[in-house]
């Protein structure tokens, strides 16, 4: 097993394939993307991303996915993210690499790493940067608003305010069940391993903001302009 395959297995705990999900629905729409694919097919601007799809981004690539109401996400190079739409909430399961997402009051977006959930703390606009640094360490940085990070295994939670970074330790346990998808466990899926997360503490390091500024951005112009937080284009 390659290091990347090991990391994906560690973070996902158990992979839920689209065939195991309820009837497929459109989760979002692809924006300007390069080097990105879904099920081995190049992701073109305007293409639908279906709930349960995994967006893979290769070296030097980047992908933008929009969800309506000014909510969106950006997946960086060498990243894999599974996208779910559960009722009015979009859930992004980071399997590998790094992603940025914007959640709005009209269209909530939340991130998942193992059994940790990252969402807007107050339901207002929030922008978060989620990174898998190593197979056993992840970071969550708040670029705008306040994020709430909660872990299912130990029932703990923490707030990450703009400019702060929360570290998360990950471990693969032998017992457990897959995280519910859209509020219910998926029939026919049995898990013997699950990735658990432990909050390590927050620090005002500016790490997330620095990574965001240094990310390569595709040569494109957003139409219409995204304001006040603009990505992937300046």
Instruction: Give the pLDDT of residue 121.
Output: 96
**What's the CATH number where 70 sits?**
2.60.120.1440
Q: Which residues of the chain have pLDDT under 50?
A: 6, 9-23, 175-177, 185-192, 205-234
Distance CA(147)–CA(161), nearest Å, equals 6
pTM for the structure as a whole: 0.73
Instruction: Give the pLDDT of residue 190.
Output: 41
Residues pairing with 173 in the sheet:
194
Distance CA(27)–CA(11), nearest Å, equals 21
Does residue 225 belong to any structural domain of this protein?
no
Largest pairwise CA distance in the chain: 48
Does residue 180 belong to any structural domain of this protein?
yes
Question: Domain containing 207: what range?
Answer: 3-214
End-to-end CA distance of the chain: 39
Instruction: Give the pLDDT of residue 171.
Output: 81
Does residue 56 belong to any structural domain of this protein?
yes
Instruction: Give the pLDDT of residue 200.
Output: 77
Give per-residue pLDDT as tens, 13-62: 434 333 344 446 899 999 999 999 999 999 999 999 999 899 999 999 99
Does residue 112 belong to any structural domain of this protein?
yes
Instruction: Give the pLDDT of residue 62.
Output: 95
Instruction: Give the pLDDT of residue 180.
Output: 59
Does residue 232 belong to any structural domain of this protein?
no
Query: Contact, 198 vs 142, CB < 8 A?
Result: no
| Tally of structural domains, the chain | 1
């Amino acid at each position: 097993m390659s290091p990347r395959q090991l990391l994906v297995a560690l973070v996902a705990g158990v992979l839920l394939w689209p065939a195991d999900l309820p009837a497929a629905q459109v989760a979002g729409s692809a924006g300007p993307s390069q080097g990105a694919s879904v099920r081995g097919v190049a992701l073109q601007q305007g293409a639908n991303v279906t709930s349960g799809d995994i967006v893979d981004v290769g070296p030097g690539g980047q992908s933008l996915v929009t969800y309506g109401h000014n909510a969106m996400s950006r997946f960086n190079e060498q990243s894999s993210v599974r996208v779910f739409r559960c009722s009015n909430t979009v859930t992004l399961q980071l399997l590998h690499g790094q992603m940025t997402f914007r959640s709005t009051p009209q269209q909530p977006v939340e991130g998942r790493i193992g059994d940790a959930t990252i969402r807007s703390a107050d339901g207002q606009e929030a922008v978060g940067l989620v990174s898998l640094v190593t197979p056993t360490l992840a970071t969550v940085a708040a670029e705008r608003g306040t994020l709430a990070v909660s872990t299912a295994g130990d029932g703990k939670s923490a707030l990450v305010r703009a400019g702060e970074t929360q570290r998360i330790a990950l471990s693969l346990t032998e017992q457990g069940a897959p995280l519910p998808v859209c509020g219910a466990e998926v029939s026919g899926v049995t898990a013997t391993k699950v990735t658990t997360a432990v909050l390590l503490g927050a620090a005002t390091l500016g790490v997330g903001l620095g990574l965001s500024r240094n990310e390569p951005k595709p040569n494109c112009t957003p139409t219409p302009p995204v304001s006040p937080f603009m990505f992937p284009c300046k």
